[in-house]
């Protein structure tokens, strides 16, 4: 575990570099991301140290969630933070997994400058982004795959990433208009699953036909008049679910191309529609619980 005596104060140059990571262009330039919150940071540290799941052990979803991620630094607020779950001095309370990360103490003002929340828990981590996986590599992954068409809410994308990790999805296709995978709010919403799922960016109208040619069944999550109930849809092992924008649904470029549209039936007299992250969760569960597939047990 990390020794408090190894902790130090960052330089002004380091603080300046970390502040810039709040902007996407600098995150992309540096290849870094910022993780915030006790649970999120600790799970990332466990995955970086290999403490999560030993090789060859655990279920598929456990192995997926332990995929490699590299943490470059841990940042602690000297007074322990302002939000629920803080209130303890970083010097005497936190126990870290075995690892070689530098740990820095930040004054409250400097920490809050980096934090993305008003009531923080006094802990951040600087991590290295996992590289984009070429589409031609994702084509050969085990299913299911998820394609996201203009998902704009960071919380939704983060939840989808965590669910994709839990259900051992082979990867994410991030279409145009989808929020940055490394946005601080996305990272926080994954609750430590950041970097666990392969991903690529691109134009879905161009990418999906390529996957279809390689035997992938494209299923559009869409409650249109031509849709069929999700539980009746054929779900082969190579199943690619496509989820659309929170307000507008799937773009017109993806409709009317012969791909199967599936809906999740419910009481539409009480609520207009399902949240997109909830719809993806249901689709992934339906896939995992299909014939010959083992369902996962909750934590």
65-103, pLDDT tens digit by residue?
Answer: 445 789 999 999 998 655 544 444 444 457 777 778 899
Taking the C-alpha atoms of residue 221 and residue 228, their distance in angstroms, rounded to an integer, is 10
Taking the C-alpha atoms of residue 170 and residue 167, their distance in angstroms, rounded to an integer, is 9
The half-sphere exposure of 49 on its side-chain side, counting CA atoms within 13 A, is 16
Taking the C-alpha atoms of residue 99 and residue 11, their distance in angstroms, rounded to an integer, is 22
What is the token pair recorded at 143?
Answer: 């299913």
What is the residue-level pLDDT of the chain in tens, covering all 299 positions?
444 336 689 999 999 999 999 999 999 999 999 999 999 999 999 888 765 443 333 444 443 444 578 999 999 999 865 554 444 444 445 777 777 889 999 999 999 999 988 889 999 999 999 999 999 999 999 889 999 999 999 999 999 999 999 999 999 999 999 999 999 999 999 999 999 999 999 999 999 999 999 999 999 999 888 899 999 999 999 999 999 999 899 999 999 899 999 999 988 888 878 899 999 999 999 999 875 454 444 44
- Residue whose structure tokens are 């502040």: 19
So what's the pLDDT on residue 89? 47
pTM of this prediction? 0.85
- CATH numbers and ranges of domains, the chain: 4-128 (3.30.1330.30), 135-288 (3.40.1280.10)
- For the chain, give the mean pLDDT: 86
């Amino acid at each position: 575990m990390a020794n408090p005596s190894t902790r130090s104060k960052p330089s002004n140059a380091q603080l300046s570099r970390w502040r810039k990571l709040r902007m996407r262009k600098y995150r992309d330039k540096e290849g870094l991301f910022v993780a915030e919150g006790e649970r999120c940071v600790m799970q990332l540290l466990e995955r970086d140290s290999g403490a999560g799941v030993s090789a060859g052990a655990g279920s598929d979803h456990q192995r997926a969630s332990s995929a490699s991620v590299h943490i470059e630094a841990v940042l602690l607020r000297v007074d322990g933070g302002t939000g629920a779950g803080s209130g303890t001095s970083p010097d005497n309370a936190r126990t870290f997994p075995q690892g070689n990360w530098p740990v820095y103490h930040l004054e409250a003002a400097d920490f809050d400058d980096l934090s993305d929340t008003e009531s923080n828990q006094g802990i951040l981590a600087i991590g290295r982004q996992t590289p984009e996986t070429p589409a031609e590599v994702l084509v050969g992954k085990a299913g299911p795959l998820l394609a996201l068409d203009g998902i704009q809410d960071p919380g939704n994308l983060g939840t989808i990433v965590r669910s994709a990790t839990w259900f051992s999805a082979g990867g994410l296709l991030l279409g145009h208009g989808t929020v940055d995978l490394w946005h601080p709010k996305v990272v926080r919403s994954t609750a430590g699953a950041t970097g666990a799922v392969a991903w690529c960016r691109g134009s879905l109208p161009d990418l999906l036909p390529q996957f279809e040619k390689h035997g992938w069944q494209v299923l559009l999550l869409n409650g249109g008049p031509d849709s069929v109930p999700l539980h009746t849809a054929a779900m082969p092992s190579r199943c690619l679910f496509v989820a659309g924008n929170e307000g507008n649904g799937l773009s017109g470029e993806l409709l009317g191309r012969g791909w199967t549209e599936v809906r999740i039936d419910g009481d539409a007299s009480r609520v207009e529609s399902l949240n997109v992250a909830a719809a993806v969760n249901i689709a992934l569960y339906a896939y995992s619980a299909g014939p010959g597939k083992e369902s996962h047990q909750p934590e």
